[in-house]
Amino acid sequence: MREINIYTSFFIMIIALAICIGSLKLSIYTPRGPGPGFMSFGTGGILFLLSFHLFLKSLFSRTEGGAKDAYPKNIKTTSLILSALMFYALFLEKLGFILDSFLVFSFLFAISRTMKWYASIACSLSLALGSYVLFSVFLGIGLPRGMLNFFR
């Protein structure tokens, strides 16, 4: 864990500095009490002290090992899922809920490779339609219709 702690605490130290610098642009203290930058400057400072503490502590600690878990094991799956989610977010309003969900879910089922292609397509179609009915019709949430706007 030592190695990991050194890396992460160093990274957090940089973030903390960035927060402090960013808050300097806002006024930190005004005659009438704390200004808009007060809280972020304070937390930035605390964050820096804490991460510096952790940094030093791990630098001088001698315990090794246990770091194996900390490295990603299956980057391919992870990044595929994340990009599917990004796609979902970006195209939700253009394609509409049903189409977008359908596309993303057939993709997710495809990478999980549990079903035949027609089964996974049927499954994601029914999922997309089913959740649309649940959220939009039953709970009355106005999900985007996108291209399918012409029907009600």
Partner 1 sequence: MRRRFMKAVWLILAVIIVTLTNIDAKAAEEFPNRPIEFVVCYPPGGGADLSARIILPEVEKHIGAPIYITNKAGGEGTVGVSYALNKKPDGYTLFGLHQSSTFVGRVFGQLPYDFNEIYPISNWIDNLNIFAAKPNSPLKMFKDLLEYARQNPGKLKYGVPSKRTSQGIGAELLLSDARLDIVAVPFKGSGPTMTALLGGHVDLASIPYAMAKPHIQAGSVRALVVFGKKRVEELPDVPTAVELGYEEAPLAIAGAGVSAKVPQDRIEKLNRAFEKAMKDPKVLDQLRKAGFDPVYMDQGAFKKHILEGVEKVNRIKDRLKD
Partner 2 sequence: MDFLQNLLFGFQVVLHPTNLFLAFVGCVIGTLTGVLPGLGPSAAIALLLPGTFHLTPVGAIIMLAGIYYGAMYGGSTTSVLVNIPGETASVVTCLDGYRMACQGRAGPALAVCAIGSFIAGTLSVVGLMLMAPTLAQVALSFGPPEYTSLMIVGFVILTFLASSSMPKALIMAAFGLFLSTIGLDAVSGESRFTLDIIDLNDGIGLVPVVMGLFGISEVLLNLEQIQGNPEILKGKILHLYPTREDWAKLLPASLRGTIVGFFLGILPGGGAVLSSFVSYAIEKRTSKYPEKFGTGVIEGVAAPESANNAATGGAFVPLLTLGIPANIVMAILLGAFMIHGITPGPMIIQEHPDVFWGLIASMYLGNVMLLILNLPLVGIWVQLLRVPYKILFPLILLFCLTGVYSVSMSRVDILVMIIFGVVGYVSRKTGYEAAPLILALVLGGMFENSLRQSLMMSGGNPSIFFLRPISFAFMLIAIVLLLVPVVLRRKPVPLLVEAR
Q: Binding residues for partner 2, per CB under 8 A?
A: 1, 4-5, 8-9, 12, 15, 19, 22-23, 26, 31-40, 43-44, 46-47, 50-51, 53-54, 57, 61, 63, 66, 69-74, 77-78, 81-82, 85-86, 88-90, 92-93, 97, 101, 105, 108-109, 112-114, 124, 127, 131, 135, 139-144
Answer for the pair 51, 5: CB distance below 8 angstroms, yes or no.
no
| Residue 104, CA distances (Å) to 13, 23, 136 in order | 37, 39, 19
8 binds, among partner 1, partner 2, none (CB under 5 to 8 A by kind): partner 2
121 binds, among partner 2, partner 1, none (CB under 5 to 8 A by kind): partner 1
Alpha carbon dihedral 31, 34, 36, 42, in 10-degree steps, equals: 140
Q: Which residue, 80 or 103, has its beta carbon nearer to partner 1?
A: 103
Interface contacts to partner 1, rule CB under 8 A: 30, 32, 99, 102-103, 106, 110, 117, 121, 142, 144, 147-150, 152
Answer for the pair 147, 91: CB distance below 8 angstroms, yes or no.
no
Alpha carbon dihedral 47, 50, 51, 54, in 10-degree steps, equals: -170
